[in-house]
Structure 1
Amino acid sequence: MTQQIPLPSTNDLEATWKFLEDGIDQIYNRLEEGLTHARFMNLYTVVYNYCTSSRIQTGQYSTDLQNHQAQRGASLMGSDLYNRLIKYLEDHLAAIRLESEQYMDESLLHYYTKQWKKFTVASSYVHHVFSYLNRHWVKREIEEGRKNDVFEVYTLALVSWKRHMFKYVHHNVNEAVLKLIERQRNGEYIETSLIKSIVESFVSLGLDDNDASKLSLDVYKNWFEAPFVEATEVYYKTESEKFISENSIPDYMKKAENRLAEEEARVQMYLHPTTHQPLISKCETVLVRNHAEVIWEEFQNLLNYDKQEDLHRMYSLLARIPDGLNPLRSRFELHVKKAGLSAIEKIAEQEGETVEPKTYVDALLEVHRKYNELVQTAFSGEAGFVASLDKACREFVNRNKVCKTSTSKSPELLARFCDSLLKKSAKNPEENELEDVLNGTMTVFKYVEDKDVFQKFYSKMLAKRLVNGSSASDDAEASMISKLKEACGYEYTSKLQRMFTDMSLSKELNDNFKERMQQGHDPSDLNDFNILVLSAGSWPLTAPTTAFNIPEDVVKTYDRFQKFYQSKHSGRKLNWLFQLSKAELKATCFKASKTGYTLQVSAYQMGILLQYNNGDTYTFEELRDVTNLALEAIIPALSILVKAKILLLSNGTKVGDSGSKYSLNTDFKSKKIKINLNMQMKTEQKVESDETHKTIEEDRKLLMQAAIVRIMKTRKAMKHVTLMDEVITQLQSRFKPRIPDIKKCIDILLEKEYIERVEGQKDMFSYVA
């Protein structure tokens, strides 16, 4: 049987402490021998008995009084045991400290962590032994504020470690930890759990001065983190300067990237999370910011050789420091601008003044595609680089060699490219590819400054496609208009959409007319007739510049439709646009074909060719008189017929010469049954383009004047400079107004008395109500 050790007298301090000290000593020095439950309960009981030794046991007092006396006793008797425990801990830690002096470096860390773990586990046991003291005497002392240096027993143990152990060894411990970390940075394997334990002990010792139950990181921050970050700075400063002087910038960036990743991992592995910010910030300064200039200088080389991986690494590193990316963005913008200008210059040199729209747009898109891909991959789609790309593209799209005479050239060529895509052709892309190509055109459109120019040319070309029935696909047409509407708003595309409405109304009108004709006329007396009735305000179509005598073969149908339309819409006037009309003539006069050829001609060519039903040869003057066409209309029409060898021109003369004769070529041969003669000549295209530009200029004047009046009506009075800025802001989504043009519009409005100068103030205008 185990011998029972008698418990000391309840109020005998010396006997009580001797009994407790033996137990506490076992816990701190021989805990591995085992602490039985009975032994633990005896230690707890001794503390309890001593703290409550003055409680009144007689039955004379009420329960409340007994409780009061018990509390008072605890208050009086607890301080003796508490002070003895302080002295024990001091002596115990002094012995540990003395033993630690024989250790250095890694062996010191092993010793320190072993003793720390042993001490904190033992202190936890002792804390429970003194739990009655904690609940009463310690609590009362803290609440009443009579003691500034009183803690619960476990906290007292930590405070004692801090005062009697940590205070003397932390310098050596810290040095040993820093040496260990440096060895790890040099590529050696180390025991990271050692450092983790040291860090945890430093954190645990951070006791809040105002509230011992709370932890503060002051000990960790001041005694470990600060010297650690300082040592890190010294290490990487030396290493980076040496490495960058002996290696290329791309190699240095790889090194810096790896080092930053290592430090990120180090925080996860064994440092407190709060160290992340100061550590990584210091590493970024030393490894990146201090070498930013030489890294920036390498950027152009990487761009030139399209080193995407290195560019991404450079971006990732410089994004870590304030304003690190600004020089890259500006250099990237300049590089893209040069690339765009160079691409257009190359095709301008190859093709001269008549640059093909497809070649031009493809060149623009190729530059954008290449550098947009670079922005997305190397620069992670960062907003600053996207903005730089946009600025560069806007420059080379609107101000390149092809646009040297006018910034309107880009939108015109883009509109022509769209026309070629949407017009029936053997070269049209497949339906699934067409949508991608249209998206590409919208990319260029986004950068075009003169969107009104694109609108004007696009609407003219759409009108021609609809009038001539040459659209490749109604779905593609609708898709393109939808994209333009999304980019510029409803107003930009409202007229385009109304054109489609007119087309469907015209189809209905034609069906009604044909039905009416079939009811009241002999079918042999009717031509296959189709007409488009279009609202003048929605279509960019101009009245013909020449008179035209309608051939007798179609004049009946013409008159019948006029009457039919007036019966449905009295008061409306039809303006016939013969320059846009076309016809198909069945020609059986040519010897080479028994069945005859079908000639697709313009209305003017029809007027000329129908004369050959009555004769074989006509002079220029005869043809002009019978058709009543002006020179600028009849000469192009005849030129195409002569060039196609439908008509033969008399020897020694040119088309349009006085007295020149035109004979029907009955020996005409062609492999095709249908022959298209309704083609526009290049001179006509140029005239049409020039007229469109003139219309654009007139429209712009009206838009600027409207904007000025609108602004002045709202603001009542404005300074000249402010008014100019406001006009530019309001109109820049459609085109970029030029300062001289705005000034001219202001002068016009002054003359018209929409606005006036404010008396005594030279640069101030006011609105005239």
Structure 2
Amino acid sequence: MSLKPRRVDFNATWGAIKDTIKGVITLDHVARAVWNDRFSDVYSICVAHPEPMADRLYAETKQYLIDHVAKLLDKVQEDGEQYLVKNYFLYWSQYSVGSQYLHSLYLYLNQQHIKTQKLSDAEIIYGSSDSSGGEQMEIGELALDVWTRGMIVPLGSRLVKLLLEAIAQDRAQETLSIPIEAVRGTILSFVEVQGYRKKGQLQLYQVLFEEAFLDDSGEHFKRSAARLLQEKNVSLYMEKVKAKIEEELFRARRFLHHSSFPKVSHRCETHMVAEHLQFLYSECSNMVQQERRKDLSNMYDLLKSVQNAIVVLVDTVLDYIKTQGLAAIGNLQGENIHISFVENLLAVYKKYKELIKDVFKSDQNFMGALDKACSYVINHRPNQGRSPCRSPELLAKYCDTLLKKSSKGISETEVDEKLAESITIFKYIDDKDIFQKFYARMLAKRLIHQQTQSMDAEESMINRLKQACGYEFTSKLHRMFTDMSVSSDLNNKFNSFLKNDNIDLGINFGIYVLQAGAWPLGQAIVTPFALPQQLEKSVQKFEAFYHNRFNGRKLTWLHHLCQAELKLNHLKRTYVVTVQTFQMAILLLFENVDSLTCKDIKETLQLNNEQFYRHVVSLVDSKLLLADAEVSLDYQGMLQYYLWVFQELTPEVTLKLNMEYSNKRTKFRITAAVQKETPHEVEQTMNSVEEDRKMYLQAAIVRIMKSRKVLKHNLLIQEVYAQSKVSFAPSVQLIKKCIESLIDKQYIERTPHSSEEYSYVA
């Protein structure tokens, strides 16, 4: 055919097109040749000469569709209400497919004539200031619009009524008076007729059907809830409500558009859950306390979708975990209280973490409740907050027990697992600086007294602490390890020095040179002590060697932390005994004599009362020395009975070597008192923490004020708290004291115009 514009007899051409439209819209057979001819006719009319007749073709097509739908309306209604939905769906199924074919037939008109006049997508979505509202639709859209106006508008309310009755029959498990496919197809037709729209595609569906359906469903849910509530059993009620929600969602998938699914759930939850929360809450506490997992899971599933409804359940779980946690650590006694404390807490944590994972699907609300409960229990202060929290100290002791050589019957893998688990407790501790102090003191003792079971385990634990709190938290611990390796190298160099100069010390002598700032040993605990002559040469030679290499450094000897091995040759068998320095010094005094008075020993060694009595008692208790007064105390009783010891071990009491001493082991250790954590040391550690906190807070205040120059009181306290909470939770009172201290030191001052505002003094 020719594509050139030509004169067209519109009436004749339209007549041919009209006959073909009738076959297309009714899905009658249309021959391929006829289809091709009509396609050409549409083109010819659109490009007719001298004047294109596209608008006339559009108007005639529109009128034909209006007339056709009017006839279908009569056919749909002719069999009465009983067959109204069925007939509607039958003719809709035919018409909707036919309109798609018709759209294809009018392809040229749609693309070259109508589309050029249509508003852009942006104008449709966001509005257009000059839209006239009279634009033409593409033919497929036109057909659907005609169906909406000519069929759905007049029949809508009647169709909806019948559809709701059919859904009610389905709820009642009755046989539907309307085929299921007709019900679903009719409902979805309300969406499909507006599917061509850029926005508001669901408007007809929502206004005509969905609102009525949801209102009808709401009444049904209210009746169902009232009936179920009569049983007065929360567990059974929850199960049936869950089943009802599932049933309604299944029904929605059978009949409705997917956009309605959440609305159906919401309406069901509103009337069957949200309106009866007090009834559900009435059993909440019992369910939690009895750990009824199935019931709790059902309650969680029902409450999670109702706004703020889950808060009561979360709070109940929080309170219950708190109670269980406090009960687990409430009455711990004995020497192994630290082991019971940590392992009981971990058992509670694991149990309820697993419960939350299993029952509450690891919901963050409940994980948060677990965190709050654990934090509360671990940082709990007994006696209404008057007693200090012991968690940092006990956790440090627990780690110390695992890392010491004394931990028997447990493999390295188990030790590593337990240490990894202990970090769980550590993360909840507020006063991490207290833990750090205790851990550092215990680590120092393990390293100095060679009590570490595995250096790899020690480093692994420190790395875990670093991951939890940062490098600054563990910097001193790392420096302690560095000192040990440096000391080892220094010992090798000292031995080489002795060998090169042919110096014989007469004893094997090894030292640790430790940085005062890194080790929690302190200068205040250096005790007076007159060095035995057997050690004088060794000490002098090492000091000369060290000062020659490191000019300007000062060495302070911490004799109370040292130990030695002595060979006992005065007995029937030879024994090798490991003792502490002061114990060694006392025994060396008996090298040339068999007995000495307490007064002689004290004056010779220049020991203070505490150190003298502590170490004499340990030697007497081990039977290496005999006293003419009966003294037999273990370490645990020693500190409690100092007064008794002072009374019995008078200066005149004579101590003598036990020549009849015997032991099954030829190599053994006399328990060194320093390796035990005494109440005095615990108090000393806590005081040290208090001083460190003051310095930390003062430094933080100065840093903040230096950068801000001027700051109000409350804002300063907030910023200081935010910076320090990583290591500890300072009280407002302590921060205020530090502020006052800095004002006295003239680092900051109150501004002239306000006593509640501070300025930095440059």
Q: What's the TM-score bracket when you normalise by the shorter of the two chains?
A: 0.7 to 0.9
For these two proteins, the number of residue pairs brought into alignment is 726
Aligned to 1:673: 666
Equivalent position of 1:289 in the other structure = 274
Paired with 1:444 and 1:140, the residues of 2 have a C-alpha distance of: 71
Percentage of pairs with the same residue: 33
User: Structure 1 residues 724 and 656, CA, compared in 2 at 3 Å: closer, same or farther?
Assistant: farther
- Residue 463 (structure 1) shift: 0.9
What displacement does 1:306 show? 1.8
Q: Does 1:178 align with 2:167?
A: no
- TM-aligned CA deviation for residue 146 of structure 1: 11
**Counterparts in 2 of 1:250 and 1:400: CA distance versus 1, 3 Å:** farther
Closer, same or farther: CA 176–748 of 1 in aligned 2, 3 Å: same
With over 3 angstroms needed to count, the CA separation of the structure-2 counterparts of 1:671 and 1:67, relative to structure 1, is same
Residue 761 of structure 1: which of 740, 754, 759 is its match? 754
User: Which of 96, 109, 117 in structure 1 is aligned with 2:93?
Assistant: 117
Please report how far the alpha carbon of residue 194 of structure 1 lies from its aligned counterpart in structure 2 after TM superposition: 2.6
> 1:735 offset after TM fit, Å?
2.0
SS of the residue 1:613 aligns to: coil
Q: Give the superposition deviation at 1:606.
A: 0.5
Report the counterpart of residue 93 of structure 1 in structure 2.
Answer: 72
Corresponding position: 1:413 with 2:398 = no
C-alpha distance in structure 2 between counterparts of 1:721 and 1:75, whole Å: 76
Secondary structure of the corresponding residue to residue 766 of structure 1: strand
- Rounded to whole Å, the distance in 1 between the matches of 2:724 and 2:487 is 35
| Matched-pair contact (CA < 8 Å) for 1:71–1:136 | no
Aligned-partner Cα distance in 2 for 1:23–1:723: 86
Contact 1:749 1:755 in 2 (8 A): yes
| Cα distance, 1:635 vs structure 2 | 0.4
The answer to whether the Cα contact below 8 Å between 1:207 and 1:214 also exists between their aligned partners in 2 is: no
Kindly provide the CA deviation profile for residues 620-653 of structure 1, in whole angstroms up to 9, marking residues without a partner as x: 1122122221111110101111111111121467
Q: Is the 8 A contact 1:329 1:388 kept in 2?
A: yes
Partner of 1:236: 221
Q: Residues of 1 paired with 2:132 and 2:735: CA distance?
A: 85
1:703 aligns with 2:682: no
Of the three residues 479, 485, 510, the one matched with 2:460 is 479
Instruction: Provide the C-alpha distance between the structure 1 equivalents of 2:349 and 2:147, rounded to a whole number of angstroms.
Output: 67
Are 2:560 and 2:674, in contact at CA under 8 Å, matched by a contact in 1?
no
- Asked if structure 1 preserves the Cα contact closer than 8 Å seen for 2:382 and 2:389, the reply is no
CA change 1:549–1:176 in 2 (3 A) is same
1:703-732 deviations in whole A, cap 9, x for unaligned? 233233333333333343433333333222
What is the Cα deviation at residue 133 of structure 1?
Answer: 8.4
Is the 2:440–2:520 Cα contact (8 Å) retained in structure 1? yes
Residue 514 (structure 2) pairs with residue 534 (structure 1): yes
Indicate how the Cα distance of structure 1 residues 526 and 516 shifts in structure 2: closer, same or farther if over 3 A, else same. farther
Name the counterpart of 1:514: 495
Contact 2:62–2:142 (Cα < 8 Å) also in 1: no
710, 719, 723: which one pairs with 1:717?
710
- Correspondence 1:243-642 to 2 at 5 A: 243-246=228-231, 248-347=233-332, 350-351=333-334, 356-401=337-382, 405-427=386-408, 429-521=410-502, 526-543=506-523, 544-591=525-572, 593=573, 596-642=574-620
Task: Give the secondary structure class of the aligned counterpart of 1:539.
Answer: coil
Question: For the residues of structure 2 that align with 1:148 and 1:760, how far apart are their CA atoms?
Answer: 71
CA contact (8 A) 2:380 2:389 kept: no
**Counterpart secondary structure, 1:71:** coil
Could you list the per-position Cα deviations for residues 30-73 of structure 1 after superposition, in whole angstroms to 9, with x for gaps in the alignment?
x67x555577678889x879x96xx9xxxxxxxxxx9433635x
Q: How far does the alpha carbon of each residue in 1:116-138 deviate from its partner, in whole angstroms, 9 at most, with x for none?
A: 22344555667778889889999
Q: Provide the rounded CA distance (Å) in 2 between the counterparts of 1:48 and 1:753.
A: 96
- Residues 340 and 396 in structure 1, CA contact (< 8 A), matched pair in contact too: yes
Q: Deviations over 1:461-495 (max 9, x none)?
A: 11111111111111111111111112222221111
Q: 1:224 to 1:521 in 2, by over 3 A?
A: same
The offset of 1:580, in angstroms, is 0.5
Instruction: Render the CA deviation track for 1:514-543: whole Å, top value 9, x for unaligned.
Output: 2222344476x5312111111212111134
3-state SS of paired residue (1:765): strand
Aligned partners of 1:78 and 1:137 also within 8 Å: no
Per-residue deviation, 1:277: 4.0
Looking at structure 2, the residues matched to 43 and 736 of structure 1 have their Cα atoms a distance apart, in angstroms, of 86
**TM-fit CA distance, 1:498:** 0.8
Q: Note the aligned Cα RMSD (angstroms).
A: 3.7
Contact 1:586–1:598 under 8 Å retained in 2: yes
Shift in Å at residue 150 of structure 1? 7.0
User: Which is higher, the Rg of structure 1 or of structure 2?
Assistant: 1
- Residue 585 of structure 1 and its aligned partner are, at CA, apart by 0.8
What letter is aligned with 2:625? L
Is the aligned partner of 1:169 residue 2:155? yes
CA separation of 1:273 and 1:623: change in aligned 2, threshold 3 A? same
| Distance apart, 1:369 and its partner CA | 1.9
- Secondary structure of 2:579 counterpart: strand
**Structure-2 separation of matches of 1:127 and 1:719:** 74
Cα deviation, residue 413, structure 1: 1.3
Task: Give the whole-Å Cα distance in 2 for the aligned partners of 1:607 and 1:141.
Answer: 110
Aligned residue for 2:182? 194
Matched position secondary structure for 1:246: coil
* TM-score for the superposition, normalised by structure 2: 0.85
Alpha-carbon deviation of 1:689? Answer: 1.6
Q: How far does the alpha carbon of each residue in 1:726-759 deviate from its partner, in whole angstroms, 9 at most, with x for none? A: 3333222222223333333333333333333334
Change (3 A) 1:719 1:37: closer
- Unmatched segments (≥5 aa) in structure 1: 1-9, 56-65
CA contact (8 A) 2:77 2:84 kept: no
Question: How far apart, CA to CA, are the structure 1 residues paired with 2:140 and 2:752?
Answer: 88
Deviations 1:106-158 (A, max 9, x none): x5433332232234455566777888988999999999x99959766655554
Match of 2:640 in 1: none
Distance in 2, matches of 1:159 and 1:765, equals 74
Change in Cα spacing, 1:403 to 1:681, as seen in structure 2 (3 Å) is: farther
Give, in angstroms, the shift of residue 174 of structure 1. Answer: 2.0
**How much does 1:164 deviate?**
4.4
Which of 162, 171, 192 matches 1:204?
Answer: 192
Equivalent residue for 1:62?
Answer: none
Deviation at 1:26, TM superposition (A): 7.1
**Distance in 2, Cα, partners of 1:309 & 1:384:** 19
Where does the alignment leave 5 or more consecutive residues of structure 2 unmatched? 1-7, 120-130, 632-644
Distance 1:693 1:95, change over 3 A: closer
CA spacing shift, 1:704–1:203, aligned 2, 3 Å: closer
Most deviating of 715-724 and 601-610? 715-724
Amino acid at match of 1:204: E
Inter-partner Cα distance in structure 1 for 2:105 and 2:720 = 86
Q: Is the 8 A contact 1:412 1:454 kept in 2?
A: yes
Q: Which residue among 610, 621, 643 is the counterpart of 1:643?
A: 621
Write the letter of the residue equivalent to 1:445: F
Which segment drifts farther, 224-233 or 752-761?
A: 752-761
**Cα distance in 2, alignment partners of residues 740 and 142 from structure 1:** 73
TM-score by length of 1: 0.84
C-alpha separation in 2, matches of 1:328 and 1:715: 44
Going from structure 1 to structure 2, the CA distance change for 1:337 and 1:121 (only over 3 Å counts) comes to: closer
Match of 2:639 in 1: none
